[in-house]
């Protein structure tokens, strides 16, 4: 039913969970299907109302549905147009009549999936709160329901990288009334290691260019958003596309983000994930005087330490990792440690991407042989959903961009608007503080 073969199932976590809703409840069904779509990328056994798995140890009950897995421990979830709750207790909920729009169900589904994952895997205490997660949609996104029916013209977008976060953004955009043109830029093919974080990709796509697969699938789902694939690097695509007026960034590393800001886009929407811990949203526009993407992702001690860690794990030097992409000599060294890899298939791949893929398929050999938590689809999807909502709302109401330019959201803890920040430009930023950066940007964008 989940469309996985035995080999793939073996690599999913050996968890079982039942997701239960009443078939008559359209909102619950919408939320439930989103939860299942995400959890099926993580767990080997996810039961639905139509095909229940009654022997699970955990069952998620949506909107007071009748339980199906009698002996399972229960998690409860309720959602309406104003708020969403998921946790161990039964919420004292007074339903309003209006149903939430699909995009809010998708947003809520990431938090549901995190609660379920926490309890099924029995993750260390402290990742989730005993009170569960409670989200008031009036606080964020904070717009009347009518807003979700207005069509927004997104204009021309350039997606830099269409891996996990790029998948998630386009997955969210199909549930918003948007029109526009999106260039999907990614030189690499779909690989096995990213399947558990990419909702659009499956086994049949392995080896096909990510940009082409995503343009076909996301294009078929979003009627007024036209996707054009570019199986190229961002620098190569710039020759075809000219200046980047709005880069939508979903690349793997801080370093790659700094390089992208150097392309001097007029505007940047960026979303990233910090392992499984949290997601980060960032938006900037030239000449607004606030932080650029390189200010946000400046080189840190942690990054230097992480580069050391990647070098150690992949059997290469820190200097190799600093080059960002795997050279022929480095590919030989990596394959000497990881016999399942072939030099020609990893040549030219970003170090950060290969590292994450090895994490995801649990192939990474740590000196202590301890299990590395694979990245979860619901974390990437939360990053993409937050970005898509802000992009949509900021196009409808440009002044919204003044609210914040940086926001961290935890899939485990819920939404806290007091974490929304307006970060200032860094006086020593390696990109926007360069003496000719502002002058060049003005030359490029003076007519815009
Ligand atoms: Zn900067």
CA of 192 to the centre of ligand 1 (A): 35
Q: Are strands 267-274 and 246-249 parallel, antiparallel or unpaired?
A: parallel
d(CA 376, CA 361): 12
CA of 405 to the centre of ligand 1 (A): 13
CA of 404 to the centre of ligand 1 (A): 16
CA of 425 to the centre of ligand 1 (A): 6
CA of 295 to the centre of ligand 1 (A): 4
CA of 291 to the centre of ligand 1 (A): 5
In terms of residues, how long is the chain? 448
CA of 23 to the centre of ligand 1 (A): 51
CA of 238 to the centre of ligand 1 (A): 21
Output the 3-class SS for the chain. Answer: CCCCCHHHHHHCEEEEEEEECCCCCHHHHHHHHHHHHHHCCCEEEEECCCCCCCCCCEEEEECCCCCCCCCCEEEEEEECCCEEEEECCCCCCCCCCCCCCHHHHHHHHHHHHHHHHHHHCCCCCCCCCCCCEEEECCCCCCCCHHHHHCCEEEEEEEEECCCHHHHHHHHHHCCCCEEEEEEEECCCEECHHHHHHCCCCCHHHECCEHHHHHHHHHHHHCCCEEEEEECCCHHHHHHHHCCCCEEEECCCCHHHHHHHHCCCCCEEEEEEEECCCEEEEEEEECCCCECCHHHHCCCCHHHHHHHHHHHHHHCCCHHHHHCCECCHHHHHHHHHHCCCCCHHHHCCCEHHHHHHHHHHCCCCCCCCCCCCCCCCHHHHHHHHHHHHHHHHHHHHCHHHHHCCCEEEEECCCECCHHHCECCECCCCCCCCCCCCHHHHHHHHHCCC
CA of 431 to the centre of ligand 1 (A): 5
CA of 296 to the centre of ligand 1 (A): 7
- The 10s digit of each residue's pLDDT in 410-436 is 999 999 999 999 999 999 999 999 989
- The 10s digit of each residue's pLDDT in 234-264 is 999 999 999 999 999 999 788 899 999 999 9
Q: Which positions ≥6 away from 152 have C-beta within 8 Å?
A: 176, 177, 178, 179, 392, 393, 395, 396
CA of 234 to the centre of ligand 1 (A): 19
CA of 273 to the centre of ligand 1 (A): 20
Q: What is the average per-residue pLDDT within 289-315? A: 88
CA of 426 to the centre of ligand 1 (A): 6
Q: What is the average per-residue pLDDT within 257-274? A: 94
Cβ–Cβ under 8 Å, residues 65 and 28: yes
pTM of the model: 0.86
CA of 349 to the centre of ligand 1 (A): 26
- The 10s digit of each residue's pLDDT in 310-333 is 888 899 998 898 888 899 999 999
Residue 146 clears pLDDT 80, i.e. is over it: yes
- The 10s digit of each residue's pLDDT in 1-13 is 233 333 443 356 7
CA of 289 to the centre of ligand 1 (A): 10
CA of 297 to the centre of ligand 1 (A): 9
CA of 432 to the centre of ligand 1 (A): 4
Ranking 86-95, 128-137, 150-159 by mean pLDDT, the lowest is 86-95
Mean pLDDT of the chain: 90
The pLDDT of residue 90: 83
More reliable by pLDDT, 84 or 302? 84
Q: Domains of the chain by range and CATH?
A: 6-136 (no CATH), 145-299+377-442 (3.40.50.720)
């Amino acid at each position: 039913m989940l469309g996985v073969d035995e080999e793939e199932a073996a690599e999913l976590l050996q968890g079982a969970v039942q997701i239960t809703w009443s078939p008559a409840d359209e909102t619950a069904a919408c939320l439930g299907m989103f939860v299942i779509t995400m959890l099926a990328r993580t767990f080997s056994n996810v039961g639905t109302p139509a095909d229940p798995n009654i022997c699970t140890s955990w069952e998620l009950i949506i909107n007071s549905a009748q339980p199906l897995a009698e002996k399972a421990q229960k998690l409860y979830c309720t959602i309406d147009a104003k708020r969403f709750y998921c946790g161990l207790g039964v919420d004292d909920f007074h339903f309003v009549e209006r149903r939430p729009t699909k995009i809010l169900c998708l947003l809520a589904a990431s938090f549901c999936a995190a609660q379920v994952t926490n309890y099924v895997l029995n993750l260390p205490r402290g990742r989730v709160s005993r009170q569960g997660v409670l989200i008031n949609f009036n606080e964020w996104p904070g717009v009347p329901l009518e807003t979700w029916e207005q069509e927004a013209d997104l204009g021309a977008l350039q997606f830099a990288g269409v891996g996990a976060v790029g998948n998630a953004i386009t997955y969210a955009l199909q549930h918003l009334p948007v029109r526009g043109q999106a260039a999907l830029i990614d030189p690499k093919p779909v690989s096995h290691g990213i399947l558990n974080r990419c909702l659009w990709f499956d086994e049949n796509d392995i080896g096909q260019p990510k940009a082409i697969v995503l343009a076909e699938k996301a294009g078929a789902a979003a009627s007024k958003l036209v996707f054009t694939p570019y199986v190229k690097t961002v620098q190569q695509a710039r020759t075809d596309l000219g200046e980047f007026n709005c880069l939508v960034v979903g690349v793997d590393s801080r370093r790659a983000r700094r390089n992208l800001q150097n392309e001097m886009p007029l505007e940047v929407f960026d979303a990233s994930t910090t392992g499984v811990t949290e997601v980060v949203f960032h938006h900037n526009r030239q000449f607004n005087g606030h932080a650029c993407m390189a200010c946000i992702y400046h080189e840190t001690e942690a990054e230097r330490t992480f580069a050391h860690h990647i070098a150690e794990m992949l059997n290469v030097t820190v200097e190799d990792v600093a080059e960002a992409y795997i050279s022929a000599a480095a590919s030989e060294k990596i394959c000497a440690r990881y016999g399942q890899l072939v030099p020609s298939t990893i040549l030219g791949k970003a170090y950060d991407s290969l590292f994450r893929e090895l994490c995801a398929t649990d192939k990474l050999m740590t000196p202590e042989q301890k299990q590395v938590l694979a990245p979860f689809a619901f974390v990437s999807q939360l990053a993409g959903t937050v970005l898509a909502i802000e992009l949509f709302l900021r196009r409808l109401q440009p002044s919204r961009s003044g609210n914040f330019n940086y926001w961290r959201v935890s899939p485990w803890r819920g939404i806290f608007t007091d974490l929304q920040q307006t970060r200032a430009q860094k006086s020593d930023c390696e990109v926007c503080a360069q003496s000719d950066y502002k002058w060049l940007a003005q030359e490029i964008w003076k007519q815009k």
